Chains A and B, each alone.
Chain A
Amino acid sequence: MGLLSDPNRRRALTNLLTRLNTPICVVCYLAGVAWFMGLAFEPFTLRTYMSENAMGSTMVEERFPSGERAVATGREFSAHKRKVGGMPVDWLVKTMQARGLEVYTQRFSRTLPFPDENKERYMVHGTNVYGILRAPRAPRTEALVLTAPCTEGNSNNQAVGLLLGLAQYFRNQVYWAKDIIFLVNEHDLIGMQAWLEGYHHTNITGMDWTPLQGRGGSIQAALSLELSSDVITSLDLVLEGLNGQLPNLDLANLFYAFCQKIDILCTIQGKLQRSDWDTPSGYTHAAQTMMLMVMKQASGRSWGDHGLFLRYHIEAATIKGVNSFRQYKTDATTIGRLLEGMFRKLNNLLERLHQSYFFYLMPSLSHFVSIGYYMPAFGLLAALDLWVHLGTLPPTEDGVAGEESDSSPSALSILTPVVISHMTGVALYSLPIRSQEMAVEHFPVSETEAVVLTAIAIYTAGLALPHNTHKFLAGEGTEKGWRVLKLVALLYLAVLLGCTALINFSLGFILALSMVPIAAFITPHVPKVLSATIMILLSPGFTLLYCVFVYQELQESPVSLAEGWMLFLSVISQGILDHSLYGSLVYPLLALFVYPCWLLFWNILFWK
């Protein structure tokens, strides 16, 4: 209170902060990074535990017997798939009906904004087939979903076989209190999106689909099953969903608990958990796992079919069967038992999963870092921002007063760069897709390349902006002018990073990591060439490039520079596609807000 009302003490504090600005900045930044890296250290993290009472104490007994038959059904499915050359809709309908389900189909079609070269698709037509197992005495108010994508080639037939096997087994049980929906979706995420939009009767991405005929009420939880080969050595849990949303931690706990009980090797981010946390290699392992999660979450894309459920407040996860050529093999019966157990526990739920955390990071499957522990890391980085903002002002004035006193001489000079940066952002957001036809006509490139290269071109063109901006300005830029512009840019960055970190911590953290140093040191008086190089190397585009390399490194599949560049290009195209197909927000965030913000700092550097 005294701080606010007593001008003397306030001034003393401001002076102190201004004087110690640089050391505090550096210390905070380093502390933030150190804190973050410390999160992977096991003694600093919490063990996972089941919060939901309905799933905790009531251990169920798994009895699924017919794994062999499920594998046979999978083979039959693959034979039919090959015969039809796509999804064998009729066979699936017939098979599901024979298992006593209510079967419905949904057709959908979608034309992508530009061809997807990774998955080789442009005009997508498909059919989803789903069967509903009605709970005996429930009034169709709640449902659980088990999905298996029907992918091209031979990869996921076992999952469909297991799904049908489970359907048959579940049908003969009496304890179901929630309807269970068995869904086989075509064209993975696009089919999933069509089905979810149909189920909730919304249309957010402009896809064409036929309305659903049968529903099971509000979906409580969903599991997606992907088995890549006949032989499974371990199961991998994928949690990261669209826009970095995560399912409730209890779902992960449930998976882990059953893996422990049935004795299946389970991984997260493809990494087994290690018990030697006190050795350097053990720590590195945990840090790698956590960094992978941060990378995946920051990408804002759905890393499995489950990711799209999260938008509808449905807790969902993907279980991936992996063959990593270990000695230890897991057969279909065991995986079936695992799923049976998980479904029976979810069936016991009295309320939606809400007891455990929604915001967390996992350095291993048995440990987690909750939002309360990881936010200080970000807070330290953001704190730096605020000190800087205080420090840049003339020592006699506080922030608000400084802005007011400066506004009269140079409102235009401040506004012009802000507006022009944002116009560039809008161009970066909208032009690549709109101008692809023109680009294809004039240059010998494919549509996809056209889109990506246009984006990069606009991004690069933005660097020439300061020179162009100054043409519009009548007077010379003043000392006060750049200070105010920097103040605006800093506040902008602080709000932007704060909001991003609340929604998607990983993205906010990675952006803060690269943007904050620029924000801290940039003034028109630093050496131009060196600073410009540093700024470009820390720009959002380059951050993305580093992320690609770091991700590959963490995946233990390092790539060469050329491969990395190709990956970088495909990541950009995937990001744009994710936005238009599923409504991922990372691309618009980067194009419309982060990049203009960075351009403001770029403007300050070239302030005349």
Chain B
Amino acid sequence: MRSHRTETVLTNTDAVSALDKSDPCDTEVPLPPQQVPKMAAHSSILLLLAFAAICCLQLCQVSADVDQTKSGEPYTEPNQVSIERKLEKPDEVPPIVSDIDPIEKEQDDKQWQSTEEAMVKPETTKEIAPPPPFKDEFKEELVIRPLQSGDIYASFQFRTLWDTDFLKGKRVSHYHLFPKSLGQVISKFSVRELHISFTQGFWRTMQWGQPFLPSPPGAELWVWFQDSVTDVDGAWKELTNVLSGIFCASLNFIDSTNTVQPSASFKPLGLENVTDPRFLRYAMLPREIVCTENLTPWKKLLPCGSKAGLAVLMKSEKLFHSSFHSEAIHIRPVCQDVECKALSWELRQTLNVVFDVHTSGQGKKEWSLFKMFSRTLTEACPLASSSKVHVDVTDNPEGELFDLLPVSPLLTQSVVLGDRRTYAMYDLTNKDTFGSTRSLNLLVRWKSDGGEMMRPLLHSERYVAGFGLQTGEIHTLIYNYHPYRAFPVLLMETVPWYLRLYIHTLTVTSKNKDNKPSYIHYQPSKDRLRPHLLEMLVQLPPNSVTEVTVQFERALLKWTEYTPDPNHGFYVGSSVISGLVPSMVAMDTNNTRERPLFSSFFPCKEESSYFVRVYTEPLLVNLPTPDFSMPYNVICLTCTVVAVGYGSFYNLLTRTFQVEEPSAGLVKRLANVIRRWRGVPQL
């Protein structure tokens, strides 16, 4: 295994020079299949790096893989576009004029501006920033993307960054922006990273494309502990109970039967790069139902609560009247500065919602902030150093699809999930954004139906095949829609012990041919103790469906082990597919025409591939279930059968049969006594 060093760099405006260290263009070599076994660990680390990059969407966090001795899969960093453009035109002043027509702006490509840097002026930051002793900052952001299906995807991100270390030396007792409840959890349980998500609904990849932050239906929790923790299982158990209390969720149902230690699929996203899975715990509760009781504690962790800033939009009545709802918390340590001498802790709270305009709009395709959230924006959170709303207008360059009101003052472009997207941006810290009405109510009126959505390149599907209550087969289909590139993905399946997997029946086929996984990690289950864990690195041929099947047998549970609703079925959590997907931007050869020839021969590193994690559907499996409504009948019948049947058979089997003789007379008995005395045979 190769050693890796991750360098995580804070890119404020002054940190741009750090980027020079990494070569922006790197030759991208597709992995030949025979190389894959060696690359397993290597690429898995890259996967996590890339995932980190996705997490950093519009924020100024760049992690760069400095190890360039071996050409691997480079990852995408959205902000690099803007930053590079800024480097090319360092003297150009970004316009912050709200009256410019966006259409005009778009026609002039030179006006594309890096916005992060432009908008976060140092002065503004100083004004809002908390007093120096705390050294923490808070940023909030809302991205709205009209989806091709007519739905609206709204993604909130709140990031709190605190330059302190919970784990070393002094005890932290004064909290400012960082929520105390979580800080205490981190220091008490020596948590290095914590990721938790609560999701209601299922992300429809084929209709909606890829989400910014994927999450499985139900609850998901994964935690990396510090390597100083000796009793990881004990800490995990306690931690889940504490989190259960904090979020009012059933996380206390996490026990050894649904906890696994993935060897490759979940790598730390933060600073330290220790990948010993002994310190990782991963659990999923597909049955968890998410409701307002989970949202309220989540909102309370925000510095402004739901009183000001973007969080005022979070009215639970509306948030849960949606097609998809997912709230998540990610805590990880990051570097404080370029040298990375000290740690900062990053808390990222995300909320993703998809609104079904069809249902709520009575068929009219029109939406506004007020329609979606029944609120409008009036101010930024006073504690936030940055507060922005982005609206994805990529599909609407000429305004022929929809009208966006009010007209955005600024457009920004970045590569998100391998696709170059254009966003109209609204800065809430700027008073002009709110206009004369002192409130911002974004409004979109559709003019025509959306065109065809570009198919997501990676898509998956899972189902149980077969019928009857004895055996079954789990099918996992992984689609690679890329026309000419093959790429490897990591598939992780966690199956509860009561489905007994016949691992010898595991088959992986693509294009009707056997596709041998280059890496398989299988941990068999133990009854009532731990689940099955199956991890595989599978190479997906271009434009193909890869089918992974494995047969199972349904166990008969003990009668106390059934849930109160046994006939509902038992859940099997989503399987997780993680991989580096070749970028769509790299597929688009027309795009290179506008660029200088020398820059367009090798695919550019930032655009060549991006990290995607796809969660499949959870499964609902029926187990053989006794009829619990008839215990009385069963007891009566059993007792009768035992008493009558068993009793008489036992009697027959153990009885010795003898021919009954009539009892001898008194004379005969006397004669026998005499004969015994004489020693002669008796009569």
Contacts and interface: CB of A to CB of B under 8 A. Distances in A.
Interface of A: 1, 4-5, 100, 102, 134, 136-142, 171-174, 200-202, 213-215, 217-218, 311-313, 350-352, 354-355
A140 B565 contact: no
Interface in B466-483: 466-469, 473, 475
A313 B622 contact: yes
Interface string B557-583: 000000001111101000000000000
Contact of B568 (A137, A215, A351): A351
B665 interface: no
17 contacts: A1-B648, A5-B655, A139-B217, A139-B286, A139-B618, A140-B202, A140-B618, A141-B620, A171-B358, A172-B362, A201-B466, A214-B461, A217-B620, A218-B569, A312-B467, A313-B468, A351-B566
B465 interface: yes
Contacts of B618: 139-141
Contacts of A1: 647-648, 651
Contacts of B363: 172
B320 to A, nearest CB: 7
Contact of B202 (A139, A200, A202, A313): A139
Nearest to A1: B648
Nearest to B572: A141
A201 B463 CA distance: 9
Given A102-B207, A217-B617, A351-B566, 18 more contacts: A1-B647, A1-B651, A5-B648, A137-B322, A137-B324, A139-B202, A139-B618, A141-B619, A141-B620, A201-B473, A202-B467, A217-B463, A218-B621, A313-B467, A313-B468, A351-B567, A352-B567, A354-B625
B240 to A, nearest CB: 22
B198 to A, nearest CB: 12
Interface in B512-567: 565-567
Nearest to B647: A1
Contact of A137 (B325, B358, B461, B621): B325
10 closest cross-chain pairs (CB), A and B: A139-B217, A201-B465, A351-B567, A141-B620, A137-B201, A139-B202, A1-B648, A351-B568, A140-B617, A137-B200
Nearest to A100: B358
Nearest to A3: B648
Contacts of A351: 565-568
A215 B460 CA distance: 12
Contact of B461 (A102, A139, A215): A215
Contacts of B475: 201
Nearest to A135: B201
Contacts of B652: 4-5
A350 B618 CA distance: 17
Interface string B352-372: 000010110011000000000
A218 B622 contact: yes
A174 B622 contact: no
B202 to A, nearest CB: 4
A311 B468 CA distance: 8
B464 to A, nearest CB: 7
Nearest to B563: A351
A139 B218 contact: yes
A355 B567 CA distance: 10
Contacts of A200: 465-467
B344 interface: no
A556 B295 CA distance: 64
B455 interface: no
Interface of B: 200-202, 204, 206-207, 217-218, 286, 320-325, 356, 358-359, 362-363, 461, 463-469, 473, 475, 565-569, 571, 617-622, 625, 629, 647-648, 651-652, 655
A174 B569 contact: no
B429 to A, nearest CB: 34
Nearest to A204: B467
A140 B286 CA distance: 11
Contact of B463 (A136, A215, A355): A215
A521 B468 CA distance: 42
B665 to A, nearest CB: 25
A5 B651 contact: yes
Given A217-B617, A350-B565, A355 B629 contact: yes
B256 to A, nearest CB: 24
Nearest to B354: A136
Given A139-B201, A141-B618, A352-B568, A218 B464 contact: yes
Nearest to A136: B323
B622 A352 contact: yes
Contacts of B468: 313
Contacts of A140: 202, 617-618
A200 B472 CA distance: 10
A201 B629 CA distance: 33
A100 to B, nearest CB: 5
Contacts of A142: 620
A416 B481 CA distance: 64
Nearest to B461: A215
B126 to A, nearest CB: 43
A355 B565 CA distance: 12
Contacts of A171: 358-359
Nearest to B628: A354
B589 to A, nearest CB: 29
A1 B648 CA distance: 5
A141 B617 contact: yes
Given A4-B648, A100-B358, A354 B567 contact: yes
A214 B205 CA distance: 12
Contacts of B464: 218
A5 B652 CA distance: 6
Contacts of B647: 1
A142 B569 CA distance: 10
Contacts of A141: 569, 571, 617-620
Nearest to B464: A218
Contact of B620 (A218, A311, A354): A218
B321 A350 contact: no
A350 B465 contact: no
A136 B201 contact: yes
B562 to A, nearest CB: 12
Nearest to A202: B466
Contacts of A5: 648, 651-652, 655
Contacts of A213: 461
A305 to B, nearest CB: 17
Most-contacted residue by chain A among B204, B206, B363, B568 (CB, 10 A): B568
Contacts of B621: 218
A100 B618 CA distance: 24
B322 A136 contact: yes
A209 to B, nearest CB: 14
Contacts of B619: 141, 217
Contacts of A134: 202, 204, 323
A260 B122 CA distance: 73
B568 A139 contact: no
Nearest to B321: A174
A141 B621 CA distance: 9
B202 A138 contact: yes
Nearest to B568: A351
Contacts of A355: 629
Given A174-B321, A201-B466, A351-B568, A139 B648 contact: no
A202 B206 CA distance: 25
B452 to A, nearest CB: 12
A313 B624 CA distance: 12
A100 B449 CA distance: 13
Contacts of B356: 136
Contacts of A312: 467
B622 A172 contact: no
Contacts of A173: 359
Contacts of A352: 567-569, 622
A343 B363 CA distance: 22
Nearest to B201: A137
Contacts of B568: 350-352
Contact of A311 (B218, B467, B473, B648): B467
